[in-house]
Amino acid sequence: MIPDALAERVRAAGREFPGAMALFDADGTLWREDAGEAFLRHLVSLGWVQLPDGSDPYEAYERAVDRDRATGYAYAAQLQAGLEVRRVEAEARRFAAAWVPPRLVGDVVRLRELCEVAGLLPMVVSASALPIVVAAAPLAGFAGERCRGIEVIVRDGRFTTEVVRPITYAEGKIAALRESGPIALACGDSLTGDLVMLEAAQVAVVVAPRSGSPLSEVARRRGWALLDQDSG
């Protein structure tokens, strides 16, 4: 459930900043687990994503993330190079329809509804590749056109390896939306990925499991709101 104090802060933000953004991370925030990684594993299992040397693309992705998270997350989008955009988007919708609903975080879905009622503009900004973000977020009640994720340039209807900057991770989440207006609310679960976004918001909301997380410790010290990642 949404605490009364948080609900009042959201309504107050709506009165003070009508039409301002309410930014939500996706993986670990709107749903439990990582949809971007799950979809990449799915594409590998279909044989759509392959490496020239025959090695495991997902293991290559994990090594890239270990070296640098931002470029590693971008690499997941780059691995789709050569694939037809429409085909990937259709597969993302099929995958998301089965994967997302049982993993939705109920308290965050309710927070998105509250933001809308308060006159704020809910948006998703994620470090996953854009096709799976656009496919998955509407299942949590977000409009597809209000989703941001890691993009690559498209040519002749196919993905390339050319990454669109900024990469929507950490400070890149703010940079990608710099011209979209004030941030009334931000909601996220990752210390490394979401802290900058949370610090930029009038109302910061952290999603964490009941066992706690590095970001939930920051939230307690700063007096930020906490929502239960395990809520249905």
pLDDT given for residue 44 in this prediction: 98
Which pLDDT belongs to residue 163?
Answer: 98
pLDDT of residue 179: 81
- Rounded-to-integer distance, Cα 58 and Cα 116, Å: 37
pLDDT of residue 198: 98
Element (H, E) at 225: strand 225-228
- 3-state DSSP call for residue 33? coil
Angle in degrees, CA 70, 185, 218, rounded to 5: 65
Q: Where are the domains of the chain?
A: 4-228
Q: Is the dihedral of CA 57, 127, 192, 189 positive or negative?
A: negative
Let me know: does 177 contact 125? Beta carbons within 8 Å.
yes
pLDDT at 8: 98
The C-alpha torsion from 40 through 146 and 84 to 43, rounded to 10°, is 10
Q: pLDDT below 70 — which residues of the chain?
A: none
Q: What is the CATH number of domain 4-228?
A: 3.40.50.1000
Model's pTM, two decimal places?
A: 0.96
